[in-house]
Structure 1
Amino acid sequence: MNESRNLRVYLPPGYHEVVSYPVVYCQDGEEFFNFGRIATIANQLILDDLAEPFIVVGVEVDTSVRTEEYAPFGSRFEAYTRCFAEEIIPFIEQKYPVRQDPRQRVLAGDSLGGCVSLHLAMNYPEMFHRIISLSGAYYTDTQEIVAENDDLSWLDVYMIVGLQETHFESDLGVYNFVEINRSMKELLLDRGATVRYTEKDGKHIWGFWQKELPDALLYFLRA
């Protein structure tokens, strides 16, 4: 991408370089740490022996070009997804003892972050099998690409959407995220994916997603 990109890394209590760890890679890394409080949540889950120790990597994004990087029709999408899989992942794996099994890597994202996480898994199925999707922004382009896949039986997706997200104004227009996520759930199930799908009272904001992060993380990382 011909630029530098900040990464935020959370290391679990008792971290030791001779131990290998599952890893959660977060789109919108700054927001996952600041608004999602993912480091605090991870710490508590691990200290309470609910989750096995894991590492969190937040990949920061310039919000002014976020749609261009996260949406499949964006001008920076191909460069970003290649950078993520071919540069960021090897960089982290060189510096930290994270497990390299695709079942030990979790991609997490909110809104368009959920969308790009799904595309990463479809583009690199040998690398990513597990996704946390918080109110994923699965617009028409993404649904058409998923529909073209015959077999997604290797994919495991945790999806949640808020029931008050029926009229959300995004930079691309006004969308019913409940219907979008219901459609995506059916597309994924029809192609053999494992889907844990939940609808709850909530809006398209971090105040909702932060409360749901513990269950989302435990779905994949329960001790």
Structure 2
Amino acid sequence: MAITRASSLLPGIEQSYRVTAEPTRRGICGISSGGICAFTVAWERPDAFGNVISHCGSFTNIRGGNAYPSLIRRGEKKPLRVFLQTGHKDLNIVFGDWELANRDMAEALQYRGYDYKLEVGQGGHTPMHGAAILPDTLRWLWRSPGLPRSS
């Protein structure tokens, strides 16, 4: 349902703003549950979003978020470029360890040959590190398509 809502927002935005229809030039971003939501939207709608920024993404055992690494490894490769950010002091609670979950995502993306990058900082479950590196993240995300993948 959230994917339908995100996709249904695009026509209204396109009426008011000049927005490209090219997925490789569109991105979606979120932090924590918003990070996994951003990934989910791009995963389900790669025709609409080709770039993802997930800060402290909740790829843990909250509503099945921990299933993504396996889905990535087994599923058809999608035209996505993915930036993951987490910290050494990110959450480690009953639902899982956020740093380990993001590392698991990165390993699955690497296994499947995705264009991805994982950035692990010293901080916790906050927007501080992600905000500090956002300019570099955006440069990495929208670099020329022919440049080699870095992780």
Change (3 A) 1:216 1:203: same
Name the residue aligned to 2:4.
82
Q: Indicate yes or no: 2:84 matched with 1:159.
A: yes
Name the residue aligned to 2:147.
none
Q: How far apart in 2 are the matches of 1:206 and 1:199? A: 13
Identity %: 25
Q: Which runs of 5+ in 1 are unaligned?
A: 1-77
Q: How far apart in 1 are the matches of 2:105 and 2:31? A: 15
1:201 match: secondary structure: strand
RMSD (Å), alpha carbons: 2.0
Q: Indicate if the aligned counterparts of 1:152 and 1:188 stay in contact, CA closer than 8 A.
A: no
1:163 match: secondary structure: strand
Larger radius of gyration: 1
Name the residue aligned to 1:65.
none
Q: Indicate if the aligned counterparts of 1:114 and 1:133 stay in contact, CA closer than 8 A.
A: yes
TM value normalised by structure 2: 0.82
Shift of 1:174: 5.3
1:91-130 CA-partner distances (Å, limit 9, x unpaired): 1112111111001111111111110111111211211111
Q: Which runs of 5+ in 2 are unaligned?
A: 145-151
TM value normalised by structure 1: 0.57
Change (3 A) 1:174 1:119: closer
Q: Counterparts of 1:130-145 in structure 2 under 5 Å?
A: 130-140=51-61, 141-145=64-68
Q: How far apart in 2 are the matches of 1:94 and 1:145? A: 34
